[in-house]
Amino acid sequence: MRQLKTASMKTLMEMLRLSTWGRALPPETLARVAGEMTESAVPAGGDVARMGEPVTHWTGVIEGVVKMSVSSPQGKVSTLTGVIAGGWFGEGSLAKREPRRYDVIALRDTRVALMPRHTFERLRAESLSFNDFLFQLLNARLAHFISMLEQDRLLGPDERVARCLASLFNTDLYPLALSPHVDLQQAEIGLLSGVSRQRANQALQALQEAGLVRLERRGVTVLDLPALRGYSAPH
């Protein structure tokens, strides 16, 4: 993982200004925080973090997509969830001072923002709004995982893909999702939904047929988010 000095500060700063917690901080506090953070560029397929490593930073995705996965000793890989631009992760392991519980891998060329532990802990000690944000984030993540477990057990592939797409518009997890366009390949949507690429393609076509999304060369545009959230496949 290549470490960059805060040279491309502009985009990192942009991301902080757009983030829910960054907006709530006084400008001088945010400026100090930004000065303590670094940015890292990870090529597609590269590791952002590995399971078992000590957690030294809280991490935000500036650009790109990462997936969190675990693997069995036999080498089987299970994707837990993905994080798109605007999302933050690692606060749990950071707070618990435990090794990273999963692998974090870039699905494409990705840039992440890294907040050192001491900065994270200072914010927690000094800023009520930052703690409020973390509480919201943890709550949203818990709801997200419970929802995914439920979907995995109760829903078919078309519905899982629909819910997965809809979850990308969860503003607690991804405050940057302002446009209805999802910049993910069908293979990536498959990974995050837990279905194969061609099954994801089939599901997306069914959703397009139902008028909920429009398929594009690179990505999907959501036309009816509420309907996507509640989609149930005809059978």
Partner DNA sequence: CCATTAAACACCC
Partner DNA sequence: GGGTGTTTAATGG
Q: Give the C-alpha separation, 233 to 120, whole Å.
A: 43
Q: Is 78 in the site for DNA (CB under 7 A)?
A: no
Which of 148, 176, 177, 195 contacts DNA by CB under 7 A?
A: 195
Q: Is 186 in the site for DNA (CB under 7 A)?
A: yes
Q: Is 214 in the site for DNA (CB under 7 A)?
A: no
- Select the span of 33-41, 110-118, 146-154, 181-189 touching DNA (CB under 7 A): 181-189
Which of 101, 199, 214, 229 contacts DNA by CB under 7 A?
A: 199
Output the smallest distance, CB 43 to DNA, in A.
13
Percentage helix, strand, coil, to 5, in the chain?
45, 25, 30
Q: Is 69 in the site for DNA (CB under 7 A)?
A: no
Output the smallest distance, CB 215 to DNA, in A.
5
Give the total of residues touching DNA (CB under 7 A): 19
Cβ(25)–Cβ(33) below 8 Å: yes
Q: Is 234 helix (H, G, I), strand (E, B) or coil?
A: coil
Torsion 200-206-211-212 (CA) sign: negative
Which of 122, 144, 197, 229 contacts DNA by CB under 7 A?
A: 197
Q: Of the two residues 168 and 195, which places its CB atom closer to DNA in the complex?
A: 195
For 77-98, b where at least 16 C-beta lie within 10 A, e where not — what string? eebbbbbbbbbbbbbebbbeee
Output the smallest distance, CB 158 to DNA, in A.
8
Q: Give the C-alpha separation, 190 to 157, whole Å.
A: 10
Q: Is 71 in the site for DNA (CB under 7 A)?
A: no
- Neighbour tally for 13: CB within 10 Å: 18
Query: How far is C-alpha 158 from the chain's CA centre?
Result: 21
By C-alpha distance, which of 188, 217, 183 is closest to 200? Answer: 188
Q: Which of residues 107-136 bind DNA (CB under 7 A)?
A: 108
Q: Give the C-alpha separation, 69 to 101, whole Å.
A: 9
Say if residue 125 is exposed, middle or buried (CB neighbours under 10 Å; 0-12, 13-18, 19+): exposed
Q: Is 101 in the site for DNA (CB under 7 A)?
A: no
Q: Of the two residues 29 and 185, which places its CB atom closer to DNA in the complex?
A: 185
Output the smallest distance, CB 152 to DNA, in A.
11
Which of 144, 201, 210, 223 contacts DNA by CB under 7 A?
A: 201
Output the smallest distance, CB 219 to DNA, in A.
6
Output the smallest distance, CB 169 to DNA, in A.
19
Cβ(41)–Cβ(79) below 8 Å: no
Query: How far is C-alpha 78 from the chain's CA centre?
Result: 16
User: Which spans of this chain sit near DNA (rule: CB under 7 A)?
Assistant: 108, 156-157, 185-187, 194-199, 201, 204-205, 215, 217-219
